[in-house]
Amino acid sequence: MPCSFNINGEPYTPQNQSPFPDIAPPSQDEGENATAEERPQHVAVRSEDGLIHTLVIAGQIEGHYSSPPQTKTTKYEQCIPALVAVEENDEIGGLLVALHTVGGDVEAGLAIAEMIASMKKPTVSLVLGGGHSIGIPLAVSAKRSFIVPSATMLFHPVRVTGVVIGAPQTFEYMNRMQERIIEFITRFSKADAQTVRKLMMKTDEMTTDIGSVVEGAEAVKLGIIGSVGGLGDALSTLKEMIRESRAEKNKPVQELKRKRTKKA
């Protein structure tokens, strides 16, 4: 039966310890009173190929400002140290990113996506339900990406809330931010910039908004996501990548052993 472990490979009990030794566990009061949204959404599970770490990105991605208490959120200040810990721990073989997000803070989402994309360990993303808005760069940031057939991805232009200064510089800034998102998507997927820009600016699909809703198989056809598949497919691929990664690491050791054997 699967069991959850912390980053050191020890059994993980959310009530009394943190999954990361460098992150202080919640106090007894915090553990009892904290909502699910306030707890780190990550867990490492031991498999036959070693520890696989799962990072859940759900609800709204929270950035510089706190979301209302009734909103489910993923906090980037929890994701970033978690990713650093995963990358540095030799016990963990790979990362599975499970996505079901409506989007959120653009800079926070891109920061998490850039960190996942720069990881040397095997990474696989799985879009479940929805990978909307800034969730799209997060979905393509992993080395391999999957989407379930019923999932959707919403493309739309960059939006802002609050006071907006009606000056050309404001719209130029928003356009530059949008181009950063498009550049990231095209850098880590097979989709081209013209296709992504067209999906964002489509005006005949949604009655009250600009953009496009792309379903699972269509996302693969457009080159945004790698494959249609579920949890089993994502885990099988991740385990295979972990085995290949370990084989590559062991090559220098094996070569050294062969040289020593020949000299002997």
- Percent pLDDT > 70 in the chain is 79
What average pLDDT does range 125-141 have in this prediction? 94
Residue 234: per-residue pLDDT: 96
Q: Bridge partners of 144?
A: 124
Q: How far apart, in whole angstroms, are the C-alpha atoms of residue 128 and residue 249?
A: 32
What average pLDDT does range 125-140 have in this prediction? 94
In this structure, are residues 116 and 110 in contact, taking their beta carbons and an 8 Å threshold?
no
**DSSP codes of every residue in 152-169:** EEEE------S----SHH
Residue 9: per-residue pLDDT: 46
What average pLDDT does range 104-113 have in this prediction? 91
∠ Cα 213 218 219 (to 5°): 75
Q: Residue 6: pLDDT above 80?
A: no
Residue 36: per-residue pLDDT: 46
Q: How far apart, in whole angstroms, are the C-alpha atoms of residue 181 and residue 177?
A: 7
pTM, to two decimals? 0.78
- The domain ranges of the chain are 4-263
CA distances from 62 to 84, 228, 248 (A): 19, 28, 37
Would you name the residues annotated as active-site residues?
A: 133, 156
Domain covering 4-263: architecture: Alpha-Beta Complex (3.90)
Q: Residue 248: pLDDT above 70?
A: yes
What average pLDDT does range 26-47 have in this prediction? 54
